Amino acid sequence: MASLTCPRHPDAHLVEDHRAGDIICPECGVVVGDRLVDVGTEWRSFSNERSGTDPSRVGAPENPILGTGDLSTSIMVGFGASESSQGLANAQRKNTNNTERQLNQALGIIRDMSERIHLTRPIQDSAAKVFKQILDSKALRGRSNEAQAAACLYFACRKEGVPRTFKEICAVSRVSKRDIGKCFKLILKTLETSIEQITSADFMSRFCGNLNLHVSVQAAATRIAKKAVELDLVAGRSPISIAAAAIYMASQASTEKRSAKEIGEIAGAAEQTVRQTYKLLLPRVRELFPQEFKFDTPIEQLPSS
């Protein structure tokens, strides 16, 4: 199909007028093409309107995760509907494929969980894709849907480079940490991928943000954690505990002091663990802090536990 050009100005870039449905040449004003089909939405429906009918004739956009080319209709029954429509919905539910139903359910669970911890759309889609993969491979059969969905979400977060701790995922899901861990292990085995280990730096911005700490404190804590790992002071400690202890040290030295209990709650580490790891950092405290750090409490007066 030859592209439209103005007969008098073949090089002119044509402008589209949506209101009239015309394509106009900006140089001379000639209408080059008309009766353009508007491919935008026909009707817009708002959630606060309670009109009886929804005049929109198209449904939701195509979801690539749920399978392309699936143009079937699903029956939705509202609360208190008539018996016949409920019968219709039941009949359809009986006929649906188990995997389809599981996938839909899991997608709902993943969206639910992600909304609560404000995860972005790409992570949700990645988690849904992973879920579809493990569903096809049937490796996690027998595990509850919620556990699988939570493990997929954890895996997606890790893969995208923004890991969430198991405890954070536990908080928005009703599965135990143990079950999520087991499912996660199975996912790794099924997909045969290996992912990056978690580091303390991944969690710094989130933890410090939740504690309302200033950026300088966050930067100091990041550096403390990094230096501590380099100097090998905290070998054998989980990166979460190291991060928590670094934040404790940085916050105690600055104007915004946080107690070990608060930090432990945000990070998901026990208060005693934070204190113990902090004690490991204390001997070399001078080397850990960045050079330009402004000490509100000087190093000598930092708490000893």
Measured distance between the N- and C-terminal CA atoms of the chain, rounded to whole angstroms: 76
Distance CA 220, CA 222 (A): 5
Q: In the sheet where 31-33 sits, what is the strand order?
A: 15-17, 22-24, 31-33
Where do runs of H (alpha helix) occur along 138-176? 145-159, 166-171
Residue 76 touches other proteins, criterion: CB under 8 A: no
Residue 161 touches other proteins, criterion: CB under 8 A: no
Residue 239 touches other proteins, criterion: CB under 8 A: yes
Three-class SS string for 121-133? HHHHHHHHHHHHH
Residue 89 touches other proteins, criterion: CB under 8 A: no
Among 183, 213, 233, 245, binds other proteins (CB under 8 A): 233
For other proteins, the closer of residues 25 and 234 by Cβ is 234
- Closest to 226 in 3D by CA, of 242, 209, 210, 244: 242
Distance CA 26, CA 17 (A): 11
Beta strand spans in the chain (E): 15-17, 22-24, 31-33
Stretch that binds other proteins, among 39-47, 126-134, 216-224, 236-244 (CB under 8 A): 236-244
Among 232, 292, 298, 300, binds other proteins (CB under 8 A): 232
**Residue 234 CB partners (closer than 8 Å, separation 6+):** 228, 241, 242, 245, 277, 280, 281
Among 236, 286, 294, 304, binds other proteins (CB under 8 A): 236
Size of the site for other proteins (CB under 8 A): 20
Stretch that binds other proteins, among 36-44, 77-85, 90-98, 163-171 (CB under 8 A): 163-171
As measured in angstroms, the least distance from the Cβ of 56 to other proteins is: 46
- Contact letters for other proteins, residues 180-209 (x by CB under 8 A): -x--xx--x-----x--xx-----------
Binding site for other proteins (CB under 8 A): 165-167, 177, 181, 184-185, 188, 194, 197-198, 232-233, 235-236, 238-240, 276, 280
